[in-house]
Structure 1
Amino acid sequence: MTSHQDLDSQKKAAALQAVEYVRDGMVVGLGTGSTAKHMVIALGEKVRAGMQLRGVPTSQETAVLARQSGITLIDTDNRWEIDVAIDGADQVDPGFNLVKGGGGALLKEKIVAGSAKLFIVLVDQTKQVPVLGGSFPLPIEVIPFGWGSTAREIEALTKSRVVLRQRNGAPFKTEAGNLIVDVHLARIDRPRDLEIALNQIPGIVETGLFVGRTDILIVGRPQGVETLHASKG
């Protein structure tokens, strides 16, 4: 059984490998979550050593950590071009498709990933799965208005249980003021088809499916870090 400390070490090793892709003067998309936290801290060390870079955070939590680490942040209300975005994932399949959104930042994470010239994903080995779904639900961000009807349509489409995410006894609210429903799918065999179908349902803001977006996957393992490149074509 892999301990939490061992997994954290794997995440940190993957993060240290990822920041080697960052060059002086770049604009960097800063992901959210436990693995991305190591990445932000590592970038802060590069900044203190003299590297010039600017960051686009995917959450308030990441923004706070970036500022504490000395990273200059870009006004996120403006138009920006991101050289490289680095983020974690809750699941990754052999085709480099992801499930993200366990931390509730999936909307900003997908906007940043979509704006980046290079999208690097960091995971420990436990996040690699033969097929998405099963052990981790699919998060979907929905607007509060009529969310119950939206959830019913998701259930009808997926034939799966849909649960409103709660925190401290109240509905979880994203930074955009929306809700998240977690869809408990046994398996997601065709993630691209599912993403397209879900996006047809009124009330869905964004899904936690990241399909065909990953350029580089960095996996932390007990024996070291493995770097995999997506074959896109």
Structure 2
Amino acid sequence: MSDLTPKQHVALAAAQVVRSGMRLGLGSGSTVGLIVEALGERVQRGELRDLRVVVASRWTETKALAAGLTVVELNDVVQLDLAIDGADEVDPQRAMIKGGGGALLRERIVLYAARERLIAVDESKLVPHLGASWALPVEVVQFGWRVAEAALRALGTTPQLRRDGMQPFVTDEGNYILDCPFRLRAPQAQPGAAQGHDPHELDRALRAIPGVMDHGLFLGLADRVLVGQADGVREL
């Protein structure tokens, strides 16, 4: 039995996908933090050279610099060879809920900019339908955020303003996050099964609300999903 946790297994596997000379995008979160450490060790051993890294959060930037990685601005490279990120939930069709760490807007941009998108999660993040264990984060501008909150309530959810202690949580882009419980329709749901929101319809409805900058529903943005287990890694 390995001494590694599922999260450590998948972080090491994801780090091995990276090649010298890549323009690499990195998301945010605890799994990405482990990937950053593994990449730093590969750089120190001379296995990776000329690696340029774009990060999706200030937290990841701090980790990457501490690991000895070269951090560059996305505007300076525009297109990435590979982006690696985690997720809070992944369904059987590789649709995701992201944003538990509050970096969803930048994470989406980094994934969008990449030729290949790799998601690394441990097996606890796999769900039969999105919304099974996580509320959907919705990032809104501070100006008139209660207007967006009211519109979200009209969609049948109960938004909760995310807080950092006593104060509202503020993203790296200076926005608030409303955490919204939604049950999303399961892929290929059987007739008569309990139905939820269609993910694509909800995506469109959220984007139509003035003041919503982004949301944590990530559809079609995972080319590969690596899943860490107690005995190693499998691909979804």
Superposition TM-score, scaled by structure 2 size = 0.90
Letter in 2 for 1:134: A
Letter in 2 for 1:176: E
CA distance in structure 2 between the aligned counterparts of 1:172 and 1:139, rounded to whole angstroms: 12
What residue ranges of structure 1 are gaps of 5+ in the alignment? 1-5, 229-233
Q: Which residue of 1 aligns with 2:182?
A: 185
Helix, strand or coil at the partner of 2:65: helix
Q: Which residue of 1 aligns with 2:57?
A: 59
Helix, strand or coil at the partner of 2:137: strand
Letter in 2 for 1:86: I
Q: Does 1:165 align with 2:165?
A: no
8 A contact 1:134–1:184 mirrored in 2 = no
Helix, strand or coil at the partner of 2:233: strand
8 A contact 2:185–2:199 mirrored in 1 = yes
Q: Does 1:13 align with 2:16?
A: no
Q: Which residue of 1 aligns with 2:193?
A: none
8 A contact 1:10–1:222 mirrored in 2 = yes
8 A contact 1:93–1:131 mirrored in 2 = yes
Aligned residues: 222
CA distance in structure 2 between the aligned counterparts of 1:143 and 1:37, rounded to whole angstroms: 28
Q: Which residue of 1 aligns with 2:145?
A: 147
Query: In the TM superposition, what is the alpha-carbon distance from 1:49 to its structure 2 partner?
Result: 2.0
Q: Which residue of 2 aligns with 1:212?
A: 220
Q: Does 1:26 align with 2:34?
A: no
CA distance in structure 2 between the aligned counterparts of 1:7 and 1:164, rounded to whole angstroms: 39
Q: 1:8 to 1:194 in 2, by over 3 A?
A: farther
Helix, strand or coil at the partner of 1:161: coil
Q: Which residue of 2 aligns with 1:46?
A: 42
Q: 1:183 to 1:154 in 2, by over 3 A?
A: same
What residue ranges of structure 2 are gaps of 5+ in the alignment? 187-197
Q: Give structure 1 regions of 4+ aligned residues with deviation exceeding 3 angstroms.
A: 76-79, 186-189
CA distance in structure 1 between the aligned counterparts of 2:61 and 2:54, rounded to whole angstroms: 8
